[in-house]
Structure 1
């Protein structure tokens, strides 16, 4: 078999590098998401199917924050701004969303926890952020999040000193589901108005 020489070898190497880099960039997002979910990196929370089976005497203050992506026309806020919970105790908090427009709007919430080192210990059992939310014109809803702080936080070298955690949500407008979009009236524009 003849060896590649000169320009052919260089081209083959460059094509190989491009293929490897393309493959790595394609896998980067799923790998980063997996890493954040596994470690709590960047304040990423964890999920569980049931409450904690252990409750400690120590309490942590959980603060709640809500915001909207630029251009998202909803109003969105926590119903209560904070609560004190024993570590391992199940908490139930509500956020309120309101659609002041004349058409349905779909939204999805992104979230994080601060300080970041507490993210791995903030466990959600149920949350409105797990699914897309659709609000009809003028609709106001209260959306629950059920959670607890994992007792393992008391053993973490750095996180064990945490005495307050902030849970933040940001709602982003998303495309309406097909059945909602087909039923929604089209927004009026100036050309359709009759004087």
Structure 2
């Protein structure tokens, strides 16, 4: 029977420790994309769903059977500290029938003397409404570049999924808040 020397045990321990360190590093890099995927799939943390036109058409068909249930939608706008834009909703609240497509507009104005590229992050409150709030078209899907003094109107085409009516966690929810925050894009050197 072969005996394992102290040197061999130390090598194994070192290799095991190195392997564990690599595994932890890999998990660290995978954590953000996996968390984002989890949030998109489940609506966790108020993450909205992205819908296609065909999804919206199906929701409208089911909306007819919803009996005219509607939600008040509140629109919120913020900018990061280093973002010299004025950003706001055109209309602060709206009422939308469940399953019906609706459109909201936001305006953004670059108050600096240089072109700035921004990207918007979004959230929905209450948190449980995120899985039912579906955006078909949104300025948050792409980066926005504004020239000095330029102002633009940006649309959001959305609907609230009729499946919200079957969720006991949505009972008592009367208003859903769609909130955006504009940040400088990563590659923007300004």
TM-score w.r.t. the length of structure 2 is 0.88
Cα separation, 1, equivalents of 2:91 and 2:118:
21
TM-score w.r.t. the length of structure 1 is 0.86
Gaps of 5+ in 2: none
SS at match of 2:16: helix
Cα separation, 1, equivalents of 2:119 and 2:3:
57
Cα separation, 2, equivalents of 1:171 and 1:85:
25
Please tell me whether residue 78 in structure 1 is matched to residue 86 in structure 2: no
Counterpart in the other structure of 1:13: 16
Cα separation, 1, equivalents of 2:130 and 2:52:
17
Measured against aligned partners, the alpha-carbon deviations of 1:105-157 in whole angstroms (never above 9, x if no partner) come to: 11000000001110000000000000000111111111000000000001112
Counterpart in the other structure of 1:191: none
Gaps of 5+ in 1: 182-186, 188-195
* Mapping 1:86-105, distance limit 5 Å: 86-105=97-116
Q: CA RMSD in A?
A: 1.9
Q: CA deviation at 1:102?
A: 1.9
Cα separation, 1, equivalents of 2:14 and 2:125:
48
